[in-house]
Amino acid sequence: MHVSQALPVRQPEAVKPTLPPGMERDGFIALVDAVAFSLGVGAAAMMTFRTMIASTRPSAFKRGPDEPCCYLSQNEIARKRGVTACRIREHEKTLVRAGLIEKRTMANGARSGFCGCGIFFGVAIARVEEFLSLRDVIEADRRAHARLRGLRSSHKRHLKGILGELIEREGLTAEIERIQHMFLEWPAGQALHRMSLEELQQHEAEAEALTIAAADLLTKTPDRPLENERSHIQDTTQDSSEVICNDPVDGRSVGKPTRSTDIGPQPDGRVHCLEKQDGAVGAAHKSKFIQNLGSNRLYGLCSEEMQMWLDIERQKRGRLDFHSFVIAAQKRLPELGIHPSAWEEAVSVLDEDAAMLCVLITDAKVADPEVTILSAGGYLRGMIRAHRAGSLNIMGSLIGLNERNRRHH
């Protein structure tokens, strides 16, 4: 008989699941917390999960033969949580169904470290890659939800301004009353947070369509279209009635927040930094800048990516108006990696008119191969800080973009 036949074959030990390199126990808990709602786990059950997992050894999640395990009884967990043992039993059932824990207890339900009985977390650790992918999907949906809420907010501002002007000019006609009635039925801002992504997508599309319909009514008035307005982009610095640049145009720094050396009173006694005031003139649906520059000329200053979004908006409404530029700017934000909070801050500090131009300028500078911008979001926030310091020079930046285009063409 051979020796190999005489000795019993040793079964290989099961390899316990461990966290991937770079992830510790606290990071694992944060990951589970991020996906818990999608797994059907509520806040109370997650508190119980955290209480149980806090009793494990952090090293057990990385190395060693033992799988992370909580040996606390339901009564002990309940005492730590400040709830009844009955609630803990319900939470454990929820966590088992969600695939976050595995219960291995004695016949009477007892748990003991000596017998290796308790609540084990290997089933959840084995799903880390799945949870990471799910978290990415959840985060993408969250960003999309926030973007849609921002777009709806812009539609609301513009439609409110358009309705005000329509009623003032034409009175409450049947068509205007119909649009106003539909507008008043829009859900409040807080209600948007409770909508699913699909519901919000549908509502945003309907809101934009209603805003376009109202804008179409407004364009039937005898006022001249914005595209025919005379451009002041070349002679702004000579015309004291327009926005006056407070800094010389420098080909290397055009588009950046300007220096603060000339923010004090000028020889004529005025501070020549009027972007905020210009943006505040008129209703929320109007743009002093577009009226001065012309939408077609402003379109020519945009990057190719921004122009693509503007082309989509032009196709929807048959023209380029202020609303087109605002929507295009917001749709460009995620592509630039700019957080929605930067846009919200710009709108609150500068108003929507100037905020749109700041995004346009930032985007054009990012697309310029001769300029290096490490963070588009940081660049936009820098423009906001410059405005607060009184040194933001939007018109100077637009003139610089125009000069750059002339050189390249």
CB atoms within 10 A of CB 363: 26
pLDDT at 275 over 80: no
Instruction: Work out the mean pLDDT of the chain and round it to a whole number.
Output: 80
The H-assigned helical ranges of 281-389 are: 288-293, 295-300, 304-317, 322-336, 340-350, 352-367, 376-389
| Residues 24/58, Cβ–Cβ less than 8 Å | yes
Spatial neighbors of 116 by CB under 8 A, at least 6 apart, are: 69, 104
Q: Are 198 and 189 contacting, i.e. CB atoms less than 8 angstroms apart?
A: no
Spatial separation of the C-alpha atoms in residues 226 and 160, rounded to whole Å: 20
More confident residue, 162 or 280: 162
Whole-number pLDDT of residue 113: 54
In whole angstroms, what is the distance from residue 295 CA to residue 362 CA? 18
According to the model, what pLDDT value does residue 14 have? 55
* Mean pLDDT (whole number) for 306-310: 95
- The average pLDDT across 346-375 equals 90
Distance from C-alpha of 291 to C-alpha of 288, rounded to nearest angstrom: 5
What's the pLDDT at 266? 36
What distance in Å separates the CA atoms of residue 142 and residue 130, rounded to the nearest whole number? 18
How far, in Å, are 17, 18, 19, 154 from residue 62 at the CA level? 9, 5, 6, 49
Does the structure show a pLDDT above 50 at 97?
A: yes
Range with the largest mean pLDDT of 106-110, 220-224, 378-382: 378-382
pLDDT tens readout for residues 163-218: 999 998 888 899 999 999 999 999 998 999 999 999 999 999 999 999 999 999 88
C-alpha 125/C-alpha 63 separation (Å) is: 13
